[in-house]
Chains A and B, each alone.
Chain A
Amino acid sequence: KQEVTQIPAALSVPEGENLVLNCSFTDSAIYNLQWFRQDPGKGLTSLLLIQSSQREQTSGRLNASLDKSSGRSTLYIAASQPGDSATYLCAVRKGSNYKLTFGKGTLLTVNP
């Protein structure tokens, strides 16, 4: 059974700091990994999707990496801003099954 863990559960940083969020998964036979952002009381916004054959994906100030063999992914946020404050979730998909297995998320607070 696939399990996804996100560490830390919460993170508070001053504005402008670069930061890394971690995601680990127990079964390395994944199809892809997706990072999401969730604002309080809102739905999920897709940030980045990394295929199992890829090592990283970039979008603006966000960079996600994937090391499938070790079961790890990181989300790097450069020059953090108060607007980046949200819960960040990672999810992995295994094979042709459409199911995404989610971590419980990291609550990020960026202080002005």
Chain B
Amino acid sequence: SQTIHQWPATLVQPVGSPLSLECTVEGTSNPNLYWYRQAAGRGLQLLFYSVGIGQISSEVPQNLSASRPQDRQFILSSKKLLLSDSGFYLCAWSISGRSYNEQFFGPGTRLTVL
């Protein structure tokens, strides 16, 4: 069966510090991968998605970037965090090439920027 991991589970960072969040998927190959952010009082917002190694699409302009160095690894980064980057970050995957594209989510990372 497939599993998705995210770490760290929680993170407290000062404004201006760098960020690296990691997501890995097991039990499948060549998945589509997604990064979402859930901010307090707001719905989930898609930040990035990837259909393959090195292929990243950005949904919204922001202070963040994403990379996919390996088939089942997706990394969310920032060079300098802002207060507004605080939130709950969720990684998700779906089977590539499937028309129904059901998405499955990881446990999330709670980021607090102080």
B-binding residues in A (CB < 8 A) = 4, 31-32, 34, 36, 41-46, 49, 51, 89, 91, 93, 98-100, 102-105
Contacts and interface: CB of A to CB of B under 8 A. Distances in A.
22 contacts: A4-B43, A31-B101, A32-B100, A32-B101, A36-B105, A41-B108, A42-B107, A42-B108, A43-B6, A43-B90, A43-B108, A44-B105, A45-B105, A46-B102, A46-B103, A46-B105, A93-B101, A98-B32, A98-B51, A99-B59, A100-B44, A104-B42
B44 A89 contact: yes
Interface string B12-36: 0000000000000000000010100
Contacts of B99: 31
Interface of B: 6, 32, 34, 42-44, 46, 49, 51, 59, 90, 92, 94, 99-108, 110
A43 B23 CA distance: 13
A70 B100 CA distance: 21
A41 B105 CA distance: 13
A91 B94 CA distance: 15
Closest 9 CB pairs of A and B: A44-B105, A102-B44, A43-B105, A102-B43, A43-B107, A49-B102, A43-B108, A104-B43, A99-B46
Contacts of A45: 105
Contacts of A36: 105
A44 B102 contact: no
Contacts of A99: 46, 49, 59
A43 B106 contact: yes
B101 A98 contact: yes
